[in-house]
Every structure is written in C-alpha cells, then in structure tokens.
Amino acid sequence: MNTGPSLNTGPSLNSGLSLRTGLSLRTGLPWTVLRLHRAALIVWGAFLLAALGTLVWQVEVTADSVREGMSACARTGGLCRRQAVIHYGGGISWASTLVYYSFFAVAAFAGGALVGRELENGTAELAWTQSVSPTSWLAAKLAVPALLLVAGGTVFVLVFRWAWAADRDLMGDDWTFNDVFAARGPALVAYGLCGLGVGALAGVVLRRSLPAVGVACAGMYVVNHNLEEHRGDLWPTAANGLHPESHYWPMHLVETGVVLGVAVVATGAAFFVLRRRTG
C-alpha cells in the first residue's frame, strides 16, 4: 500500500541497504543492526502483535458478546448502551492511540539506542573503523527500522481499517478523532518514519543518548501537535464551513506529505552533519 514513504527518506538510505547487500537481512550491516537492537525489535514486535491481536479479538469475539449484552439491556436504554460501546470501542481506540503515538517511542529509540548511545559510548566509531563508512552505517541504521516500520505500520493500518469499519454501530468515535484520522491511512507510517529521522538527527547532532531522546520527543511533539491543531486547515472547507467525510483522504494525504517532508529533511540533515564531522 505505501512502500513509497520509505523510499522517500533520502537517497542514501537506498544505497546502504538494497544496492550493496541485496536486501539480505542476515548478513553484513543489516545483520549487525538487527543483532545490536534485538531487544528493541522484540519489544516492538510484541507491541505490534498485541495491538493487532486486540483489534481482531474485539471484532471477532467481543463484538458478538457486546451485541448480546445490548439486546439484553434494550429496555434500560442509554446508560447500558453506553457501557457496551465503551467496552467494545475502548479496546480498539486504545490500540490505535498507542500505535499512532508510538512515533514518540520510535523517536526516543532512534535518538537514544540507535544513534545517540552508539555515538556516546564509541561503538559507532567501532563500526566505522571496520570496513563500513559512517554514511553506510547510518543508512543501514535507518533503513532496517524504516523497512520494519513500513511493513508493520502497513499491516496495522489495513487491520485497523477493517476493525474500525466492522461494527460502526458499536463505536462512539468518528473519522475526525485524532487516532482514527491518522491510523486509517499512510500518515501512521509517515509519523513512524518521521520519528526515526528526527531521532537520528538529534542523536547525530547531540551525540549523547539522554539529551537526544528528550530533543527528539520534543521535536516530534511540536510536529504532531501543530498538525493535529491545524488538521482542519489542511484542505479548504465545504460551503457550510465544515469538513464532510469526503475530505478525509485529501486532508490525510496532505498531512502525510508534510510529515514525510519533515522526515526527509531531518534524515538528510543527519547525513549531512555526520559526513561533515567525519573524514
């Protein structure tokens, strides 16, 4: 659906992984990146599976029992219905909210463990004095997580679109909710890639783990907060001054473009700073 975003995050990203190592994740730099960050990979995988599992469980299992409960409380009306909706919709919106805002975790990981910590404790220099240039090192460090983010994010978006549309009558949200707006399309993936780029830039510039985590998260907050505030301005409103649901895709794609733009600029700046500093 959207492998495009990953390829847009800077030309050097491609050369590092796909051209030189033929996309093999089991050897060379990709192996190194996966091995060094195995713990993070496991945590991320477990998180994603839990989120996907929640969505499937809510739709396939919880929905039926909620419907049964609702028919049982048909006479008591309002309060009973609302509890059922919270019970059902709560699980789904928790999943989408956590996955949507996981770009903060991605930014913290990229600024901290992925780049900042390695520059801080010298293990980056260890890699650069093997047969790996700083540029290829950073390219692999970004390309491997970027591929995983695109793949995992795409799967989540597809499953979420299915889960969100399955039982609209049991859910109290609509398409304008922040998490729903982002999680129904490529913006979710774009935010992850943006967190990666902003984190990498913070790590390369600050060269220390903790400050880089703070700055990367603050940067992502600024980007995300402003976009959430101004989502309504991303596309002209209809004659009545409101956005009909048909405006979802234009608004969503404009936001995706802005976020990917930030990702590309941050990634490019990270490469520029690294190249200028090293030989």
Residues of the shown chain interacting with another protein in the complex, contacts defined by CB under 8 A: 27-29, 31-32, 35-36, 38-39, 121-123, 125-133, 276-279
Only one residue has tokens 């997580």, namely 145
Do the beta carbons of residue 194 and residue 263 sit within 8 Å? yes
- The DSSP letter of residue 240 is T
Burial of 241 (0-12, 13-18, 19+ CB in 10 A): exposed
Q: How far is CA 224 from CA 98, 99, 155, in A?
A: 14, 14, 22
Query: Read out DSSP for 90-112?
Result: HHHHHHHHHHHTHHHHHHHHIII
Q: Cβ of 3: how many Cβ atoms within 10 Å?
A: 11
**SS3 assignment, position 27:** coil
Least separation in angstroms between CB 100 and another protein: 29
Smallest separation (angstroms) from another protein to the CB of 265: 24
Min dist. Cβ of residue 200 to another protein (A): 18
Q: Least distance from C-beta 137 to another protein, angstroms?
A: 9
CA distance 148 to 91: 24
Shortest Å distance, C-beta 24 to another protein: 11
Contact predicate 264/197, CB 8 Å = yes
230 vs 277 by CB, closer to another protein: 277
Q: What is the DSSP string of 136-200?
A: HHHHHHHHHHHHHHHHHHHHHHHHHHHHHHHTGGG----TTSHHHHHHTSTHHHHHHHHHHHHHH
Q: How far is the CB of 14 from another protein (least distance, A)?
A: 20
Q: Least separation, in Å, of the C-beta of 105 and another protein?
A: 19
